């Protein structure tokens, strides 16, 4: 049986996921697209080899078996709640929107549904999850980005940071993952995903460095606990259409969907 999928948010990630589903995942049937800018969803639908319907968020959730959220932190929790209440599985990209919403994970268990969280632009989350079982003392994420990748972030605007004047690497933020997501909602979903896998958003420390001499988004996680120490670094190329989104984040979403199709194949 093919799984009916709908994508909410047809920007950089949603567009590439649509193409990957349409061309590489015969087990998934992309039946619907939605976007706050409906013309974006219509345009994407026109350029796909299949013809998904363009629907409102609510109509889409009603129609599909699996909802893909690739829209915004602001509506992620609302979409997850609606999907779960209607017994639908969901894959979430805007993981920052789930911080402080632990009740949604209980709801998923109650409804026997899955919330899929791709590893995004990070590697090493398998180790973080394993380490959490034995006790973690500290988790630190250091994110380095070209200044352009931080443009428009609320923290940058509030603190009047002139990104154009940064000529050498500069540490511009240090705080908890919770604070990082508030200040940089589109830039550090990785810190939210890391928090959810490890010791939570209040204990996870985040440092953000603007570096004009790099062309990649570099994330380094460092964890210490009963198991020992884990250090893992990824050097990500930004996606051409959105410098805030690393190409690996898109690939991780595709890999997560392929993992779901693999389970369908073996009938679990």
Ligand X SMILES: NC(=O)c1ccc[n+]([C@@H]2O[C@H](COP(=O)([O-])OP(=O)(O)OC[C@H]3O[C@@H](n4cnc5c(N)ncnc54)[C@H](O)[C@@H]3O)[C@@H](O)[C@H]2O)c1
Catalytic residues: 219
Nearer to ligand X (CB atom), residue 69 or residue 211: 69
Nearest approach, Cβ of residue 122 and ligand X (Å) = 7
What's the rounded Cα separation, in Å, for the pair 115 and 31?
20
Nearest approach, Cβ of residue 268 and ligand X (Å) = 25
Q: Does 73 bind ligand X (CB under 6 A)?
A: yes
Site for ligand X in 198-237 (CB under 6 A): none
C-alpha torsion angle, residues 247, 248, 252, 255 (rounded to 10): 80
**Residue 178 token pair:** 């919770």
What's the rounded Cα separation, in Å, for the pair 171 and 167?
12
Which region, left, alpha or beta, applies to residue 152 given φ > 0 means left and ψ of -120 to 50 means alpha? left
**Residue 135 token pair:** 């006790």
Q: Is 234 helix (H, G, I), strand (E, B) or coil?
A: strand
One residue of 5, 7, 8, 251 binding ligand X per CB under 6 A: 8
One residue of 3, 5, 21, 70 binding ligand X per CB under 6 A: 70
Site for ligand X in 164-203 (CB under 6 A): 186, 189-190, 193
| Phi, psi of 77, rounded to the nearest 5 degrees | -65, -40
One residue of 6, 21, 30, 40 binding ligand X per CB under 6 A: 40
One residue of 2, 11, 214, 220 binding ligand X per CB under 6 A: 11
Per-residue x/- marks for ligand X, 127-146, CB under 6 A? --------------------
One residue of 53, 140, 220, 242 binding ligand X per CB under 6 A: 242
Q: Is 159 exposed, middle or buried (0-12, 13-18, 19+ CB in 10 A)?
A: exposed
| Residues 6+ away with beta carbon under 8 Å from 85 | 107, 111
Number of residues that bind ligand X (CB under 6 A): 30
Positive or negative: CA dihedral 223, 225, 229, 230: negative
Site for ligand X in 86-125 (CB under 6 A): 93-95, 118, 120-121
- Binding residues for ligand X, per CB under 6 A? 8-14, 34-37, 40, 70-73, 75, 93-95, 118, 120-121, 186, 189-190, 193, 242, 245, 249
């Amino acid at each position: 049986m093919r799984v009916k999928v709908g994508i909410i948010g047809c920007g950089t990630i949603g567009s590439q996921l649509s193409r990957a589903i349409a061309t590489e995942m015969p087990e998934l049937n992309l039946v619907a697209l939605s976007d706050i800018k409906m013309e974006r969803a219509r345009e994407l639908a026109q350029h796909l080899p299949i013809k998904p319907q363009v629907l409102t968020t609510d109509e889409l959730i009603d129609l599909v078996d699996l909802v893909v959220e690739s829209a915004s932190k602001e509506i992620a929790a609302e979409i997850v709640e609606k999907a779960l209440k209607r017994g639908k599985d969901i894959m979430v990209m805007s993981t920052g929107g789930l911080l402080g919403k632990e009740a949604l994970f209980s709801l998923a268990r109650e409804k026997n549904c899955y919330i899929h969280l791709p590893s995004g632009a990070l590697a090493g989350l398998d180790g973080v999850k394993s380490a959490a079982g034995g006790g973690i003392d500290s988790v630190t994420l250091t994110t380095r980005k070209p200044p352009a990748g931080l443009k428009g972030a609320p923290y940058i605007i509030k603190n009047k940071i002139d990104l154009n004047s940064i000529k050498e690497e500069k540490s511009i933020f240090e705080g908890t993952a919770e604070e990082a997501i508030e200040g940089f909602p589109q830039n550090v979903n990785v810190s939210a995903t890391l928090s959810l896998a490890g010791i939570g958003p209040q204990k996870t420390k985040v440092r953000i460095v603007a570096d004009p001499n790099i062309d990649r988004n570099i994330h380094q996680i460092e964890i210490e606990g009963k198991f020992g120490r884990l250090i893992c670094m990824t050097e990500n190329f930004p996606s051409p259409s959105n410098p805030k989104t690393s190409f690996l984040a898109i690939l991780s979403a595709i890999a997560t969907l392929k993992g779901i199709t693999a389970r369908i194949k073996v009938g679990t």
